[in-house]
Amino acid sequence: MQVTLVQVHVLPEHIRDFIAASAANHRASVQEPGNLRFDILQSPEDPGHFIFYEAYRSEADAAAHKETAHYRAWRDTVADWMAQPREGIRYDGLYPQNGDQ
């Protein structure tokens, strides 16, 4: 399993639009065959700070996500709304394993 934690800092005037655009990306991403989770988290202390928790079965599945029309539309839509470039940090998922709860 490949997990990526993506930190995003959004300009205050674009937070609502960012949330709406990200919801559409989430709905489509969880339908991808290799997707295990696609969570979007918002900091209560800093409403412009978001974390995306993206888990895919494999590196190939994670790479395929970046080729989807919904990801590209999200990326292009939100690009100018960010206070700084987003940062993705990759992790290897250890648990749960197939069949674990």
Assigned domain for 97 exists: no
> Domain range for residue 68?
7-45+59-84
Assigned domain for 100 exists: no
Report the domain count for the chain: 1
pLDDT at 99 over 80: no
pTM for the structure as a whole: 0.91
Per the model's pLDDT, the better-predicted residue between 66 and 96 turns out to be 66
* pLDDT value, residue 96: 80
Work out the pLDDT band at 4, boundaries 50, 70, 90.
very high
pLDDT at 40 over 60: yes
Alpha-carbon distance of 84 to 57, in angstroms, equals: 29
CA 81 to chain centre: 15
Distances (CA, A) of 100 to 1, 30, 75: 13, 19, 33
Assigned domain for 96 exists: no
Sign of CA dihedral 76, 77, 82, 86: negative
Assigned domain for 70 exists: yes
pLDDT at 16 over 90: yes
Work out the pLDDT band at 101, boundaries 50, 70, 90.
low
pLDDT at 98 over 70: no
Question: SS3 of 35, please?
Answer: strand
Assigned domain for 26 exists: yes
- The domain that contains 75 carries what CATH number? 3.30.70.100
